[in-house]
Chain A
Amino acid sequence: MRSYVPGYEIEAPRTLSEALERIAREPGVWKPFAGGTDVMVLLEAGKLPHRRFLSIWKLPELRGISVTPEHVTLGALTTYSEIRRHEILAREFPLLCRAAAETGSVATQNRGTIGGNIANASPAADSPPALLVSDAELELISARGARWVPYQGFWKGYKQIAMREDELIGGIRLPREKSGWAHFYRKVGTRRAQAISKVCFAGAAHLDAGRIADVRIALGSVAPIVLRAVETEAILRGEKVSPAIVAAAQETLASEITPISDIRSTAHYRLRVAQNLLAEFCETFVA
């Protein structure tokens, strides 16, 4: 334990409005603390400069999964375990469920939350690629009200998200329209469990008479943010899968992503694997 633990404050507001009022009154002073699976690791490592936290873990308004004919909406505090256990998510959002199953371990999944994951904004996070492919929207709440923003574009840069200091993530809304699409998710990590991803690929394709009528592709760990590969999607949209099209898509992908070499892997490996996963994705919907 490398931090001076007595120097940290964490308090539990009893209601969501109390929490929002406090962060509105002193923006930037209090940071939200959900399941702690990211923050506590930083505390242990002596790398947590921020000292004052509001525990939102027990706030009921941020929990629960609601279903309408058009959407499934997850409260920000929905844990990965809850995602995995939800029948409709399992059926219609296999990418998100796969991501949840591959995040950490059972113990991490019981405490890690989808809202916390989004707010932490790590480019190696497992769920954001699935959320991007699903065209997720985020509800950002504050003492002043609430607003919905598309998740696409929310992520501005390395660990930077377009959220005000007085806002919290309230929920994540997923349109149900892609349930008939072909889905593909693959996380390539350092080992088969409890691994940080080296490359994470999420894709969904809507096929119509053998053509890719529409497609979504998102990748993690190959750029400062988790990104939608929109140019690669454009190459594939409207086409029939063929070796030439796949090769063209792979080439475009190489120009869209900016993998780096770091403690875990190399730029060359990440690039090659991202391209191979793209090909693997395309193969899943060749008859």
Chain B
Amino acid sequence: MSTFSRRSFLQATGVTAAGLASPIGMPAIVRSAHAASGTVKLGCLFSSSGTMANIEGRLNHVVRMAADEINAKGGVNGRTIEVAVSDPASDWPLYAQVGKQMLEQDKVAALFGCWTSVSRKSVLPVVEQANGLLFYPLHFEGDENSKNIVYVNSPPASSVLPAVDYLMGEEGVSAKRFFMLGSDYVWPRTINKQLKGYWKSKGIPETAWREEYVPLGFSNFQTLVNQIRAFADKGGGKPIVVLTVVGSSIPDFLREFANQGIKATDVPVLGLDMVEADLEGLNTEPLVGHLNCWAYLQNAKSAANKTFLKQWAEYVKAKNVPFKGDVVIDPMVSAYNSVHLWAMAAAKANSFDVLEVRKAFAGLSFDCPSGYKLGMTAENNYVSRGVFIGSVNEKQGFDILWQSKDAPKPVPFSPYG
């Protein structure tokens, strides 16, 4: 080992000192001073890299668009909204890390984030400990009711069960046998658990269903589609596939399904996480008829939707957003709703303090682009949304097969297990 000269010692210490004095270590005083000058910060926890990037990345821009819209009308409580965007890189612990940083260092007034339940569950302890507020825009498995999370989208009772009921009924296909195919994590497992409980309650025997799980990002569905065909041919009633795979597995599965010549009239697929963006790379002619279920579909016929679609298309063009201006998915609309809900609550409470804002949720109502009126109650942090069942069409979109009359009251904890 050579001697360590004074120069190199100084350099080493300097590096360590620089590390400590880096913006992480910068005292919060410097940061919040910036915030106090007429702005309020909102934080985004959506990945722009990694497996979730294609679907989560859009939501950052929607939140920005909503903030711009509110700022144009004068902001909230006299302050303009500033949106801080981060990149948790589809790395679940990094969501927690970045969330903590935003709450404690940047002092954001609210967080908007997470898609997978994994990421939400890793941010949950952070928001609870730091007493922050996370607006979660995805439909999910329910069975959770934290005071620090606002569940802007539907639990299974208003997102999964209506679609399954439809398929099991006369109007649908009188389905009697079910092949559950999901990615291996909490949301599909919980959904399938609840579905099994529901079917048991209807007297359907255990032999009528089958469960298979694949890793996240799985793409080689040849054998599984063979198994689905074998399951379908066994007879005993009309079979359907309940698809809870997520991300790039959805188009891979649909492609293999079509290639093996199975049509929706033979074995319909209910893709519970399937959005318009998943059909972007596919030829959907052989896939016409497969179903999904969300609180918003792009083809919803309402004036508010027309306005929203135009707004998004113009925003994409104006700000050079790297996503398509003619594709709008439910989580985007839910993120948009979240920002407005927060702004309304903050205005109603005339404060940005989390406790005050939370008290202001009760009785809030907002006109969602889906055409329904969103509502919140004092009971919990769930938002009531309408229900759409969509059917794949040849133009890589969804036609509206059925929609609920109004926005049913959300049920946080499923009675079916």
Chain A complexes with chain B: no
Interface residues of B (CB under 8 A from A): none
* Residues of chain A having any CB pair with chain B under 8 Å: none
